[in-house]
Amino acid sequence: MRKKAANDFEKDFFKLLNNAVFGKIMESMRKIIKMELVSSDSRLQKLINQSTFKHCTTYNKTLNAVALENKIIDFCKPIYIGFAVLEISKEKIPGLFSDETDGRIMREFCALRAKSYSYILEDKEKIKSKGIRGHVVRNHMTFQDHKRCLFGDASLEVTTSNVSIRSFKHKLKTIKSNKLTYNSFNDKRVILEDNVHTLAHGHYSIE
């Protein structure tokens, strides 16, 4: 079904269906804990004194969350199915690549490092940048900026302001940070002086 998907939503949806089932099959029962919300000092002290006590989170003067490990671990997940799925999923032929462009012609390609690249198709440009929020990739990153970063344009703004809403102890906070969006540093290969060609580490022509 993922191969027949016509848009990004369908691709993500069918990927989630596969990964969700696989994740529940491979679930580690050792990591499951019991959580109890406590507002009584005597009850809190009793839970802390137990041998299964793991940690305690204090929200305010009258509310605490206590995490307890399970005394009895029930290994009820069929992890052998997960092993079989992993074996089947790796039946790929080395040297062959999947077609990410669906047969459309790629006119130009610019890669800064692993999982950070951009290319131009017949009708649009695509940008892949792991760790960068989607709206930043869509609205603030371009193919030309990738080329400027690759060839060392000092005037390029390599960071972008990133605003996120996060929860700490059930209290929402807005965090503003500067995210590095363009970075041509790559230590997986030896980059030659033209910034285009690369060689593997230990290549005979490297002095």
Residue 160 structural domain: 108-199
Query: Is there a single domain that holds both residue 85 and residue 113?
Result: no
Q: Can you spell out the DSSP letters for the chain?
A: --TT--SHHHHHHHHHHHHHHHHHHT--GGG-EEEEEE--HHHHHHHHTSTTEEEEEEEETTEEEEEEE-SS----S-HHHHHHHHHHHT---TT----TTTT----EEEEEETTEEEEE-SS-EEEEETTS-HHHHHHH--HHHHHHHHTT-TTS--EEEEEEEEEETTEEEEEEEEEE------SSSEE-TTSS-EE-TT-TT--
- Tens of pLDDT, residues 28-57: 899 999 999 999 999 999 999 999 999 999
Q: Which of 55, 89, 123 is the last residue of a domain?
A: 89
Query: Is there a single domain that holds both residue 84 and residue 124?
Result: no
Give the whole-number percent of the chain exceeding pLDDT 90.
32
- The whole-angstrom separation of Cα 137 and Cα 117 is 11
Query: Is there a single domain that holds both residue 14 and residue 45?
Result: yes
Q: What pLDDT does residue 92 have?
A: 67
Query: Is there a single domain that holds both residue 79 and residue 52?
Result: yes
The pTM for the full model equals 0.63
The vertex-119 CA angle with 116 and 120, nearest 5°, equals 160
**For residue 132, which of 178, 175, 179, 176 has the smallest C-alpha distance?**
179
Q: What pLDDT does residue 100 have?
A: 77
Query: Is there a single domain that holds both residue 32 and residue 115?
Result: no
Q: Which of 56, 89, 122 is the last residue of a domain?
A: 89
Token digits of residue 132: 């960068």
Is the predicted pLDDT of residue 162 greater than 80, yes or no? yes
Query: Is there a single domain that holds both residue 44 and residue 115?
Result: no
Query: Is there a single domain that holds both residue 83 and residue 119?
Result: no
- Tens of pLDDT, residues 91-106: 767 777 777 787 888 8
- The whole-angstrom separation of Cα 157 and Cα 17 is 39
Query: Is there a single domain that holds both residue 57 and residue 112?
Result: no
With respect to residue 167, please indicate whether it lies within any of the assigned structural domains.
yes
Weakest mean pLDDT among 89-98, 113-122, 196-205: 89-98
Query: Is there a single domain that holds both residue 116 and residue 194?
Result: yes
Rounded to the nearest 10 degrees, what angle do helices 8-25 and 79-89 cross at? 140
Q: Which of 59, 89, 119 is the last residue of a domain?
A: 89
Residue type (1 letter), 47: L
- The whole-angstrom separation of Cα 12 and Cα 2 is 8
With respect to residue 103, please indicate whether it lies within any of the assigned structural domains.
no
With respect to residue 65, please indicate whether it lies within any of the assigned structural domains.
yes
With respect to residue 187, please indicate whether it lies within any of the assigned structural domains.
yes
Total domain count, the chain: 2
131-153: average pLDDT: 88
With respect to residue 98, please indicate whether it lies within any of the assigned structural domains.
no
With respect to residue 1, please indicate whether it lies within any of the assigned structural domains.
no
pLDDT interval class at 64 (50, 70, 90): very high
